[in-house]
Chains A and B, each alone.
Chain A
Amino acid sequence: MEMVRLVVLAIAGLSPLAAAEFTLTIGNPIAANVPRMKTAGLAVRLENCADVSKATLSGTGEGTAGGARKSVPLQVTPAATAGVYAVGLTGPLNGAWIANLRATCGKAQAGAIVPFWGSVYVRDAIKLLPRFATEAEVQNALNESTGGPK
């Protein structure tokens, strides 16, 4: 029985589908090449999704405006290339804020936390996740980027 299990695991390990996990690539807005979306703060590409026509991408901007904690929906605009999107804020957030991205491809999920300062993202602080980010992860990332309590 143990032998069978090892064989199954070995086959699964060799399978390219199993090896290629659904994930996101974050890029500069010019990578999405959506000139009509002027407020794009970043470009997102779905990776290893067999059927991007059934994939989804959404998210929120988490930060503060007028001194109060705000959660603002993100505008997600598909690019000409399937599985590529330009993403931007739909409302103002002051200073440091977080883009909390949520993507699905069939039953697979992927997420990303992208810290921003103003309209420019902080490349080195991006966190890619094999699932949606938790509330705690979002809050921690926001605290880190604003220098607040952890």
Chain B
Amino acid sequence: MIFRKHQPPADDPMRDLPLVEAPESVWVSIEAALNAGEPPRVARFRWWQLAAAFAMVLVAAAVYWTSTHRLKPRWEVVRVEGAPSVGAQRLGGTGFMAEGQWLETDASSKAMIRVGAIGTVEVDSNSRVRLVAARPAEHRLALARGRISASVSAPPRLFFVDTSASTAVDLGCAYTMDVDDAGNGLMHVTLGSVSLEWHGRESLVPAGASCRTRAKLGPGTPFFDDAADSFKQALSEIDSGTHGTGLETVLHSARVRDTLTLWHLLSRVDATDRRRVYDRMVALSPLPSGVSPDKALQLDAPTLKHWREDLAWKW
């Protein structure tokens, strides 16, 4: 076979070159390659690649959406009676309240809040409650008005209820709390204990005891519910700052278990009255070993704590 396809022009020096026939072996190898017939490469459509790309787009969209539209923490709310409202919406059966939202009941409605996974709060009629924080380490409500009954099963200091006069710190318990329109309240503990705290003041309220709270004054002095009425009335006078015969009455009518009240009074009265409270406490229940009278009167914190732990056996 001779290659003659291209004839150079007349003035081209290439024209003078002799024509040479290609060796036969070259043509044989070319024809063999052509006969082997390797098909040309064509781009294939692979479904798994498309699916993977689609999944990646979905993931990216989900990440973007959650970062820009993060849901506010919220708790479930169940209508118990009437038509309570969450925010501006009436609650028909079950709904949610998000952080910052108010739950409100009127004279004929009641509701129940599920406090995450740690308990429940029943909201009585004529009450106003706000969800302050719904986080794993802080479950916090604010009670502006009305009455709630809380039942919490969680480690201490996870559930809080703020009022204008105190913060109720759950120490593992069940309790009710009332707050009137003026911000004054009453807490009653039925299981475990609650610490009422406000501006450095702290009242420990164990099961079977109650404690008043007063707007601008904070938590009062806890007392057992089976204490004499005269004892409770006198204590109320002391808590409200009325200077009268309140302390005299409290000391005179105190029983052994009323050392709960006296223990709290010890650090809330002046030095002169402190001695009287101390003397009455010791008369009701001998000072345990390891408690120094002087340190107790000086309100040494570890001494008072040790004394309180011993007294709790008589409460």
Q: How far is the CB of A41 from chain B (nearest CB, A)?
A: 8
Per-residue interface assignment for chain A, residues 99 to 137, with 1 indicating a CB less than 8 Å from any chain B CB and 0 otherwise: 000000000000000000011111110000000000000
A142 on the interface (CB 8 Å rule)?
no
**Which single member of A25, A40, A123 contacts B257 (CB below 8 Å)?**
A123
Chain-B contact segment, one of A8-16, A31-39, A70-78, A90-98: A31-39
Asked if B313 and A123 make an inter-chain contact with CB atoms under 8 angstroms apart, the answer reads no
Please report which residues of chain B, range 193-210, place their CB below 8 angstroms from some CB of chain A when the two chains form the complex.
193, 204, 206-208
Interface of A is mostly: mixed
| Complex Cα gap A133–B225 (Å) | 28
**Complex interface: chain B residues within 8 A of A39 (CB):** 191
B residues contacting the other copy or chain, number (CB 8 A): 24
| Complex Cα gap A25–B156 (Å) | 26
Asked if B208 and A30 make an inter-chain contact with CB atoms under 8 angstroms apart, the answer reads no
Q: How far is the CB of B178 from chain A (nearest CB, A)?
A: 18
B190 on the interface (CB 8 Å rule)?
yes
Asked if B207 and A31 make an inter-chain contact with CB atoms under 8 angstroms apart, the answer reads no
Asked if B172 and A119 make an inter-chain contact with CB atoms under 8 angstroms apart, the answer reads no
Instruction: Sort chain A's interface into a size bin.
Output: 20 to 34
Asked if B190 and A118 make an inter-chain contact with CB atoms under 8 angstroms apart, the answer reads yes
| Complex Cα gap A28–B206 (Å) | 8
**Which single member of A28, A31, A33, A40 contacts B208 (CB below 8 Å)?**
A28
**Complex interface: chain A residues within 8 A of B207 (CB):** 28-29, 41, 119-120
| Complex Cα gap A136–B206 (Å) | 32
B314 on the interface (CB 8 Å rule)?
yes
**Which single member of B156, B225, B257, B309 contacts A35 (CB below 8 Å)?**
B156
Asked if A38 and B191 make an inter-chain contact with CB atoms under 8 angstroms apart, the answer reads yes
Q: How far is the CB of A97 from chain B (nearest CB, A)?
A: 14
Asked if B192 and A38 make an inter-chain contact with CB atoms under 8 angstroms apart, the answer reads yes
Asked if A43 and B156 make an inter-chain contact with CB atoms under 8 angstroms apart, the answer reads no
Q: How far is the CB of B116 from chain A (nearest CB, A)?
A: 16
Known A38-B153, A124-B226; contact A33-B192, beta-carbon cutoff 8 A: no
**Which single member of A33, A36, A121, A124 contacts B309 (CB below 8 Å)?**
A33
**Complex interface: chain B residues within 8 A of A45 (CB):** 313
**Complex interface: chain A residues within 8 A of B224 (CB):** 123
6 contacts between A and B (CB under 8 A): A28-B206, A29-B192, A30-B171, A35-B172, A43-B312, A119-B174
Given contacts A27-B312, A41-B191, A41-B207, 18 further A-B contacts (CB under 8 A): A25-B313, A27-B314, A29-B192, A29-B206, A29-B207, A30-B171, A31-B315, A35-B156, A35-B172, A36-B155, A38-B153, A39-B191, A43-B312, A119-B190, A119-B207, A120-B207, A121-B208, A123-B257
Q: Which 7 A-B pairs have the closest CB atoms?
A: A27-B313, A31-B312, A28-B315, A120-B208, A119-B191, A38-B172, A31-B313
